[in-house]
């Protein structure tokens, strides 16, 4: 029988399988290259007798429930407790999950190291006392918890939780093992803090090498900032030499810095999430930031990221250092983002035809943050890939493409912070959730309505909700009638106060604040250190207000195991007699599962929040292209400049309509030069649909109208509707607003 058969059976006995990954040397004691002699070691670093030749590998210890044994396992598991992963309703941030596993102790094994041809016989101690003594470095090693049923073979067991060992506490006759989810790694500092002795050992004037003392206090690659405020990027380091001097390699000034940094000036590591256009310029898409925080700062393996099949493949093979990636259909990808091919993550900066590009035409301004690390990004390895290889998108890239397309965020951090703190900031300001899902993958969700056609689970009293377990909480503590966003910080690491920001935006729901409802204002204030443009500030304020202006209704109920597939983070529709509309009828409402916990009797308790996301919802689309050169009121050829952040050539129909300022223009044909990024519209008829032909200056926006969009663009974006929710298919340009579209 399969896991699903047992799950739906009336007679089933759950069985736990625990796997603990502990370090073990790959060599055999006394066999070359190991030069150890005498009594064999225990193949751990702390007991190694030839540390220069120690080669780290791992041994997976398996443990099962006391009354059930799987081949190669020890039946020591007595009790498993789960503190579930939970999404906080107030801040939309995840609270980490934790497993508490109690295991009995036992006599030691006959041989200390199963699987090794040379191993000590166990003569004293106990199993767990010996394991703990030989593995003092067990902290943050991987542990996995699997759930199965008596009668199932090991391959049929289902992964329940993957995490990092927090502690092993020995008690009388046993141990308690605490395992935190993978995001525990985000407690690491974002970057090292250099001491006052981290200084230049000689002047730096812009050459390929920077000479510093205390280079061991800096990252292997990144950005440093001098005592005088000059930025330098570098891609590697070596040292120290006989004089204690380190070399930062392949270095150059960045962010508009130049001149000389004098010998003896202190330098410090900084994080600058921004492009370099002779200064700190455009920000990054959300996926670049979150993946850097999770994989680079938090050292969480990219293997644990949730991936989505893009539907595209490599159209020809590439080498490990290629910076133009030929794909079968570039329209399936955002203008900049992250992809995965085989086991490699790749950051691309733009698109050029059916190529995703890291450098050259279409790649935009430089990105010092990932200098020389676009291939083999986020701690993966750059390798060659064959034509036809599938291309995957990290879930956050997929979410950004659907709901945050064109949104850019930037920030600078001089002082180290907990990586979790930085991740919380950007998630809150972009309204993105990040958590470890039930497949133990790191996943992401933009707080948005379901996509058109997306399958959403339906629950109701008769078929799903267990009788007498449903309760409703109308939580007014979460209500906000106005949102204030302070944005465009004046300095790095701004303090959370209005004076640290250049701009402020206020959104007010007057119907809620008047005397017929609240009779007062309930503000939510964001000090948005990641936001530097009004578009992102407006999106944050309007989306947050939509969700919380009437408070947040929470629902708690039990389900049977047949509905086990409802997971934390999932959206679902529910109809229950506990929630009625003004006519006394059950309402079909959209909720999000925030917490899931197993209860006695084979039931599951769900805590959920009403999303208020079943209404029209704004999101940020691509920027409009601009006129490459000025045109007179009689010109019949118009040239537009396309960049990585604008609509692309494929988004324009072969013939169609655009709008420039107040004038609407039709065109008969188009041609695109991928080398220059210039789209030429020919056979233009000026001043159509009752507008007036006018001259326009270079750099003015050219607005793409629905009737000028290709089918690719029509499927990809949802245009503003008119008052009757009809698309603008007559071409009058009604309601088009730059950057904003509404489902």
Tens-digit pLDDT profile for residues 683-722: 999 998 888 999 999 999 898 876 677 877 766 654 443 3
Hunting for tokens 């141990």 — which residue is that?
175
Partners of residue 507 on adjacent β-strands:
483
For 45-139, list the strands marked E by DSSP: 56-65, 74-83, 86-87, 94-95, 98-104
Mean pLDDT, residues 64-68 taken together: 88
How far is residue 153's CA from residue 2's CA, in Å, rounded to a whole number?
9
Q: Which two tokens stand for residue 337?
A: 């983002």
Q: For residue 449, how many other CB atoms are within 10 A of its CB?
A: 18
Mean pLDDT, residues 164-175 taken together: 92
Three-class SS of residue 725?
A: coil
> CB–CB of 308/451 below 8 Å?
no
Tens-digit pLDDT profile for residues 376-392: 999 999 999 999 999 99
Using 50, 70 and 90 to split pLDDT, how confident is the model at 7?
A: low
Structure confidence at residue 4 (pLDDT): 63
How far is residue 93's CA from residue 84's CA, in Å, rounded to a whole number?
14
Structure confidence at residue 301 (pLDDT): 94
Reply yes or no: is the peptide bond before residue 240 cis, omega within 30 of 0: yes
Hunting for tokens 């600058």 — which residue is that?
272
> CB–CB of 394/307 below 8 Å?
yes
For 96-173, list the strands marked E by DSSP: 98-104, 142-149, 158-171
Structure confidence at residue 614 (pLDDT): 61
> CB–CB of 147/58 below 8 Å?
no
Mean pLDDT, residues 257-263 taken together: 96
How far is residue 707's CA from residue 659's CA, in Å, rounded to a whole number?
11
Q: Which two tokens stand for residue 63?
A: 């443990």
Which contiguous run of DSSP H or E holds residue 511? helix 510-513
In the 3-class helix/strand/coil scheme, how is 581-647 assigned residue by residue? CCCCCECCEEEEEEEEEEEHHHEEEEEEEECCCCCCCEEECCECCEECCCECCCCCCEEEECCCCEC
Q: How far is CA 643 from CA 143, 407, 675, 679, 718, in A?
A: 45, 14, 11, 11, 21
How far is residue 335's CA from residue 374's CA, in Å, rounded to a whole number?
15
Is the pLDDT confidence value at 262 over 90?
yes
Three-class SS of residue 739?
A: coil
Query: Which of 202, 246, 258, 198 has its CA nearest to residue 220?
Result: 246
pTM, two decimals, is 0.81
Using 50, 70 and 90 to split pLDDT, how confident is the model at 734?
A: very low
For residue 282, count CB atoms less than 10 angstroms from its CB and return exposed for 0-12, middle for 13-18, buried for 19 or more: buried
């Amino acid at each position: 029988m399969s896991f699903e058969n047992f799950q739906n059976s009336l007679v089933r006995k759950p069985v736990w399988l625990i796997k603990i990954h502990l370090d073990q040397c790959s060599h055999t004691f006394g066999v070359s290259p190991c030069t150890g002699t005498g009594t064999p070691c225990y193949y751990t670093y702390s007991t190694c007798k030839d540390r220069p030749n120690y080669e780290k590998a791992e041994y997976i210890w398996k443990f099962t429930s006391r009354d059930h044994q799987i081949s190669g396992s020890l039946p020591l598991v007595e009790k498993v407790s789960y503190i579930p992963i939970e999404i906080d309703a107030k801040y939309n941030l995840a609270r980490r999950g934790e497993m508490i596993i109690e295991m009995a102790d036992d006599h030691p094994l006959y041989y200390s190291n199963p699987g090794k041809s040379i191993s000590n016989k166990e003569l004293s101690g106990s199993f767990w006392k010996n394991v703990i003594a030989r593995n003092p470095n067990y902290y943050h090693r991987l542990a996995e918890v699997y759930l199965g049923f008596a009668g199932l073979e090991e391959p049929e067991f289902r992964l329940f939780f993957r995490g990092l060992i927090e502690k092993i506490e020995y008690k009388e006759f046993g141990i308690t093992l605490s395992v935190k989810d993978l995001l525990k790694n985000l407690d690491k500092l974002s970057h090292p803090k250099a001491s006052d002795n981290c200084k230049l050992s000689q002047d730096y004037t812009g050459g390929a090498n920077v000479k510093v003392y205390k280079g061991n206090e800096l990252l292997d690659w990144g950005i440093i900032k001098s005592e005088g405020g000059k930025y330098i990027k570098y891609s590697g380091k070596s040292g120290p030499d006989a004089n204690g001097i380190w070399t930062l390699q392949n270095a150059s000034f960045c962010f508009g810095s130049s001149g000389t940094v004098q010998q003896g000036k202190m330098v410090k590591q900084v994080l600058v999430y921004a492009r370099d256009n002779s200064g700190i310029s455009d920000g990054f898409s959300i996926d670049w930031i979150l993946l850097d925080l999770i994989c680079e700062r938090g050292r969480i393996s990219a293997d644990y990221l949730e991936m989505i099949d893009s539907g595209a493949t490599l159209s020809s093979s590439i080498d490990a250092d290629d910076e133009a990636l030929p794909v079968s259909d570039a329209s399936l990808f955002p203008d900049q983002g992250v992809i995965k091919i085989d086991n490699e993550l790749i950051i691309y900066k733009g698109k050029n035809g059916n190529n995703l590009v890291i450098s050259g035409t279409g790649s935009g301004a430089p990105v010092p943050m990932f200098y020389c690390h676009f291939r083999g990004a986020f701690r993966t390895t750059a390798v060659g890939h064959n034509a036809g290889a599938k291309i995957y998108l990290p879930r956050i890239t997929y979410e950004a493409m659907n709901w945050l397309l064109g949104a850019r965020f930037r920030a600078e951090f001089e002082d180290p912070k907990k990586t979790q703190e930085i991740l919380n900031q950007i998630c809150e300001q972009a309204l993105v959730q990040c958590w470890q899902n039930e497949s133990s993958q790191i996943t992401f969700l933009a707080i948005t309505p379901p996509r058109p056609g997306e399958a959403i689970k339906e629950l109701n009293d008769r078929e799903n909700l267990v009788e007498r377990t449903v309760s409703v909480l109308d939580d007014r503590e979460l209500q906000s009638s106005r949102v204030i966003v302070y944005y465009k910080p004046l300095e790095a690491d701004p303090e959370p106060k209005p004076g640290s920001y250049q701009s402020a935006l206020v959104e007010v729901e007057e119907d809620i604040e008047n005397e017929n409802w609240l009779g007062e204002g309930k503000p939510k204030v964001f000090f948005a250190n990641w936001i530097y443009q009004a578009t992102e500030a407006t999106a944050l304020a309007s989306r947050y207000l939509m969700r919380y202006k009437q408070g947040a209704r929470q629902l708690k109920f039990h389900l049977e195991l047949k509905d086990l597939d409802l997971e934390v983070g999932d959206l679902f529709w529910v109809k229950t007699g506990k929630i009625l509309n003004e006519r006394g009828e059950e309402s079909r409402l959209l909720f999000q599962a925030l917490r899931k916990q197993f209860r006695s009797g084979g039931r599951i308790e769900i805590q959920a929040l009403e999303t208020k996301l079943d209404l029209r919802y704004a999101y940020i689309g691509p920027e409009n292209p601009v006129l490459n050169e000025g045109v007179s009121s009689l010109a019949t050829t118009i040239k537009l400049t396309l960049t990585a952040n604008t609509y692309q050539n494929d988004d324009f129909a072969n013939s169609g309509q655009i709008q420039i300022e107040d004038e609407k223009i039709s065109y008969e044909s188009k041609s695109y030069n991928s080398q220059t990024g210039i789209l030429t519209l020919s056979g233009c008829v000026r001043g159509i649909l009752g507008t007036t032909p006018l001259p326009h200056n270079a750099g003015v926006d050219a607005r793409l109208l629905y009737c000028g969009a290709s089918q690719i663009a029509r499927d990809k974006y949802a245009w503003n509707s008119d008052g009757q929710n009809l698309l603008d298919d007559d071409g009058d340009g009604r309601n088009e607003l730059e950057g904003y579209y509404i489902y």
